[in-house]
């Protein structure tokens, strides 16, 4: 460990000499000043970590020095000394930013102990700063918003999100139901320059066909019987931002033609309107269907498929990235502890294998529901197999298949031995899980 620099400020020459000798023998590099003004000059030339300062001094007393020095050098550690000390003086010094207060006369051990305590505090502050930096790096690499993952498959997804976020490129997100397609769409929108604009979601399979066209493109007053006023469509609402077309594979063929024109011309024509309106909208589509097979079956237009499939992002099923299950479990336990006012600490050693072996046909959404139910039912500090009975009665991963998306021995040997050593709680005010490596 490098030597710590200490500045001693005292108007008594004997006190300066005594402290300089004492601290020098203890391994500190020491300089001294006779008053606050001289100390400020020295602080401009040298980088002191700790400052020992008397309160009663001529020219510039200790409290005046503390106020000025703290304003200019707030990161330094100030320890005040006085032979005329009272509780009120000590409290005033602390209020102005002093770390500690020593009354004269003092024992040599008292000075050294105070400095050692200050050193320990500084070490903890530095460790905390490094930890925060590391957590920030982990969050940037392994998460977007509420999306938590550490698998290589999801790392590739995050990389694509970063690359496409700032561009208007049309994105097609594919994956089974419950894999988080809407979360990825939100991540693309919120991490790009369109984040200040609207994000409009529409489920193409959740709106009746006879209403979907007016919902997407809007209508003019009098366009049909109940059109008593003009109504903007979802594309117009998304102008300047992003529209997310979920389950685009459910879009009727008659509307696929009109959507293709919107994508090509960047303009819409509301029902009952004779003219078109220019729009500036970034389109993200998602589907759980295999659109290439839908094209072959003539259920989805080939030209529209190629128009929306500019950049494809496929979300793997949870059974294909089982390495993410412990992270997600930790995140959901923390989430539902707060929601349900419970104090569950984690899963028992018998419970985690049940989750790891289960097939998760409903993917992350099903895992979320399972953990909510388990947290609600748990009577102790740990979730046990009793709270996961639904998982034990239903399908598991085929036993003949090896683990999906796990680390090979060669890769594992290159990772830190304490990888994923702790799954901790989220930071206050944050929606993200903190993973300590």
Mean pLDDT, the chain, whole residue set: 84
Tell me which of 294, 316, 338 is where a domain ends. 316
Burial of 36 (0-12, 13-18, 19+ CB in 10 A): buried
Strand partners, 9: 33, 53
- Reading the block at residue 354, the tokens are 């049940």
Tell me which of 81, 105, 131 is where a domain ends. 131
Q: What was the pLDDT predicted at 411?
A: 37
Contact 173, 286 (CB under 8 A): yes
What pLDDT band is residue 435 in, cutting at 50, 70 and 90?
A: very low
Q: Are residues 255 and 364 in the same domain?
A: no
Q: Are residues 188 and 274 in the same domain?
A: yes
Strand partners, 218: 232
Which segment of 120-124, 216-220, 254-258, 262-266 scores lowest on mean pLDDT?
120-124
pLDDT tens per residue across span 193-252: 999 999 999 999 888 888 898 899 988 888 787 877 888 999 999 999 999 999 999 999
Q: What was the pLDDT predicted at 216?
A: 92
User: Highest-confidence range of 100-114, 133-147, 248-262, 387-401, by mean pLDDT?
Assistant: 248-262
CA-closest candidate to residue 169, choices 370, 34, 61, 308: 308
> Does residue 223 form part of some domain?
yes
Tell me which of 316, 337, 364 is where a domain ends. 316
Q: Are residues 170 and 27 in the same domain?
A: no
What is the rounded distance in angstroms from the CA atom of residue 156 to the CA atom of residue 309?
Answer: 18
> Does residue 80 form part of some domain?
yes
> Does residue 429 form part of some domain?
yes
Q: Are residues 303 and 353 in the same domain?
A: no
Which segment of 244-258, 269-283, 419-433 scores lowest on mean pLDDT?
419-433
> Does residue 136 form part of some domain?
no
What pLDDT band is residue 420 in, cutting at 50, 70 and 90?
A: very low
Contact 313, 171 (CB under 8 A): yes
Q: Are residues 20 and 154 in the same domain?
A: no
Q: What was the pLDDT predicted at 314?
A: 96
What is the rounded distance in angstroms from the CA atom of residue 137 to the CA atom of residue 154?
Answer: 16
Question: Structural domain of residue 65, as residue ranges?
Answer: 5-131
Q: What was the pLDDT predicted at 410?
A: 33
Q: Which residue has the tokens 């010094």?
A: 93
CATH number at residue 431: 1.10.8.60
Half-sphere exposure of 283 (CA within 13 A, CB side): 23
pLDDT tens per residue across span 64-106: 999 999 999 998 999 999 887 677 888 888 888 899 988 888 8
Tally the domains of the chain: 3
Q: Are residues 287 and 155 in the same domain?
A: yes
What pLDDT band is residue 137 in, cutting at 50, 70 and 90?
A: low
> Does residue 138 form part of some domain?
no
Rounded to the nearest 10 degrees, the angle between the axes of helix 253-265 and helix 209-217 is 10
CATH number at residue 286: 3.40.50.300
Q: What was the pLDDT predicted at 395?
A: 54
What are the DSSP calls for 226-244, one per residue?
T--S-EE-HHHHTTTSEEE
Q: Are residues 170 and 258 in the same domain?
A: yes
Q: Are residues 307 and 245 in the same domain?
A: yes
Q: What was the pLDDT predicted at 209?
A: 83
> Does residue 139 form part of some domain?
no
Q: Are residues 290 and 341 in the same domain?
A: no
What pLDDT band is residue 428 in, cutting at 50, 70 and 90?
A: very low
CA-closest candidate to residue 153, choices 179, 116, 131, 191: 179
CATH number at residue 15: 3.40.50.2300
pLDDT tens per residue across span 321-372: 998 898 889 889 989 999 999 999 889 889 999 999 999 999 999 999 999 9
Higher-scoring residue by pLDDT: 401, 84: 84
Q: What was the pLDDT predicted at 28?
A: 92
Quick check: 126 pLDDT over 60?
Answer: yes
Q: What was the pLDDT predicted at 150?
A: 79
pLDDT tens per residue across span 25-65: 999 999 999 999 999 999 999 999 999 999 988 888 899 99
Q: Are residues 384 and 338 in the same domain?
A: yes
Q: Compute the average pLDDT of residues 127-146.
A: 62
What is the rounded distance in angstroms from the CA atom of residue 305 to the CA atom of residue 311?
Answer: 11
Contact 32, 5 (CB under 8 A): no
Which segment of 104-108, 236-240, 253-257, 405-409 scores lowest on mean pLDDT?
405-409
> Does residue 84 form part of some domain?
yes
Residues sharing a CB contact under 8 Å with residue 108, sequence separation 6 or more, in sequence order: 22
> Does residue 179 form part of some domain?
yes
Q: Are residues 328 and 310 in the same domain?
A: no
Q: Are residues 38 and 187 in the same domain?
A: no
């Amino acid at each position: 460990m490098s030597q710590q620099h200490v500045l001693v400020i005292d108007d008594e020459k004997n006190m300066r000499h005594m402290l300089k000798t004492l601290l020098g023998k203890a391994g500190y590099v020491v300089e001294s000043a006779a008053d606050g003004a001289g100390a400020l000059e020295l602080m401009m030339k040298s980088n002191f970590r700790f400052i020992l300062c008397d309160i009663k001094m001529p020219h510039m007393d200790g409290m005046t020095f503390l106020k000025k020095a703290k304003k200019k050098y707030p990161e330094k550690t100030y320890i005040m000394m006085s032979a005329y000390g009272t509780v009120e003086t000590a409290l005033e010094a602390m209020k102005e930013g002093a770390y500690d207060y020593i009354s004269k006369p003092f024992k040599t051990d008292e000075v050294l102990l105070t400095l050692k305590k200050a050193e320990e505090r500084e070490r903890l502050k530095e460790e905390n700063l490094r930890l925060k930096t590391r957590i920030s790096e982990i969050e940037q690499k392994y998460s977007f918003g509420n999306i938590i993952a550490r698998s290589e498959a999801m790392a590739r997804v995050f990389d694509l999100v970063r690359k496409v976020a700032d561009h208007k490129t049309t994105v097609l997100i594919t994956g089974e139901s419950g894999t988080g397609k809407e979360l990825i769409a939100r991540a693309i929108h919120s991490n790009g320059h369109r984040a200040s604009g609207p994000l409009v979601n529409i489920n193409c399979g959740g709106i009746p066909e006879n209403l979907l066209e007016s919902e997407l493109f809007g209508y003019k007053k009098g366009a049909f019987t109940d059109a008593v006023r003009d109504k903007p469509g979802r594309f117009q609402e998304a102008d300047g931002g992003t529209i997310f077309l979920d389950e685009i594979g459910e879009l009727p063929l008659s509307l696929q033609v009109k959507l293709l024109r919107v994508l090509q011309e960047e303009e819409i024509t509301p029902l009952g309107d004779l003219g078109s309106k220019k729009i500036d909208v970034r389109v993200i589509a998602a589907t759980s269907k295999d659109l290439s097979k839908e094209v072959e079956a003539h259920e989805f237009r080939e030209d529209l498929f190629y128009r929306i499939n500019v950049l494809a992002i496929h979300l793997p099923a949870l059974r294909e990235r089982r390495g993410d299950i412990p992270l997600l479990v930790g995140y959901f336990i923390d989430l539902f502890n707060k929601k349900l006012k419970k104090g569950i600490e984690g899963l028992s050693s018998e419970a985690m294998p049940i989750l790891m072996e289960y097939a998760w046909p409903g993917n992350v959404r099903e895992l979320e529901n399972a953990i909510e139910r388990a947290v609600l039912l748990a009577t102790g500090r740990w979730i046990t197999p009793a709270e996961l009975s639904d998982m034990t009665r239903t399908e598991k991963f085929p036993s003949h298949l090896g683990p999906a998306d796990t680390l090979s021995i060669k890769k594992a040997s290159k990772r830190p031995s304490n990888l994923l050593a702790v799954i901790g709680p989220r930071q206050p005010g944050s929606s993200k899980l903190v993973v300590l490596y």
